Structures are given as C-alpha cells and as structure tokens.
Structure 1
C-alpha cells in the first residue's frame, strides 16, 4: 500500500471534516465525528483528524496514481470550503509498498 499525509494549519479542522464528509457521502462512504473523519473512495481511503490547530489527512491507496486522485479530490473540495482562509497544503509521500 502507498501512503501520503498532509498536516494543514487551521483552527477550523473539525468544521472542514464535517463539510467534506457530508459532501463525499453523496457519492461514496464517508463517516465523521467532531474530531475524525473517514472517506472510502473507489481508489483508496482518507482518514482525517481534527486537532485544535491542525487538520490531518492520511491517505492510503494501492498505487501512486490513486494517491494522486485522492489528493486532487481533497484539495479541490477543501479549497472550496475554506475560501475564507488561505491554507497551505503540502504532502509527505511514503510510496514504499508494504509488499516489497
């Protein structure tokens, strides 16, 4: 499996998780609480964690292409929901496979 993580500085992490998961569950399985979220896409999974000043995305997929698809979905939607603040979204990729 391939992984990628982003830690985004924001005070609105819980709100963004709720908005993202409510939006995603129109097309895919998504669940959330005030501090966590999970979206299961056809091509991988994103775990979300809300900390007091951070939003953490932890993506898992079978290949790098699918990781990039999930990143694209997350970034497009998060930027739409966070138009009131400028977020810096950087990814730390761990593309090593657990089956190597």
Structure 2
C-alpha cells in the first residue's frame, strides 16, 4: 500500500533567498540526500520529500508528511535552521499553508 502524503508550502519574504537555500542544502547534505543549485533544491527529509525555490523576493519551501506530526517536524526542521541562518532579518517562521 502506498503512503499518502500531505503537502504544505511555506514562504519567507527575503532578498537573500538563494543564499539561504544554499546554506540549508549545504548543511543538510551532511545527513540527507540533497540536490540543488542557486534557485532550487530537492531534499530527502526524514518526514518526506521537500523542495525549495528562491527568487529575488522570496524563499519558498514545499514539504510533505504522512500526518500532522510529520508536517510539524518538517516545518520545525526548516524554520529552526532558518532562524539561525536568517537571524539578521529577525526570522521566526515561514508562513505555512496546506495544499
């Protein structure tokens, strides 16, 4: 039986989206499979596949999980790391929406 995943999208308005995308990917690449360039990324988070996209004004994350607990963990993984990387922008959390 195939596991059904739920998806959420998070956004962070920043002009440093590409920088943060690359920082996240370089950091995560030590523990999980990551494929990225300056504008996009695919990551094998433990909760399910995730993608990142950066443009001139926004960093967008699309996460997946089998249940609410998995989505919460994925949000925490992304938000917690961005808090460290984007501390100069007073980052607290992405704006998350269920798809």
TM over 0.5: yes
Tell me the distance in 2 between the aligned counterparts of 1:90 and 1:42.
21
**Is the 2:6–2:67 contact (alpha carbons within 8 Å) kept by the matching residues of 1?**
yes
Instruction: Count the aligned residue pairs.
Output: 94
Tell me the distance in 1 between the aligned counterparts of 2:7 and 2:58.
19
1:6 — aligned with what?
10
Task: Give the CA deviation at 1:12.
Answer: 0.4
Q: Secondary structure at the match of 2:78?
A: helix
Q: Which runs of 5+ in 1 are unaligned?
A: 95-100
Task: Give the CA deviation at 1:86.
Answer: 2.1
Matched, 1:91 2:96: yes
Tell me the distance in 1 between the aligned counterparts of 2:46 and 2:82.
19
**Correspondence for 1:45 among 10, 27, 49:** 49
* Structure 1 length-normalised TM: 0.87
**Is the 2:47–2:64 contact (alpha carbons within 8 Å) kept by the matching residues of 1?**
no
The 4+ residue runs of structure 1 with deviation greater than 2 A are none
* Structure 2 length-normalised TM: 0.88
User: How do 1:1-100 residues align onto structure 2 when only pairs under 5 Å count?
Assistant: 1-87=5-91, 89-94=94-99
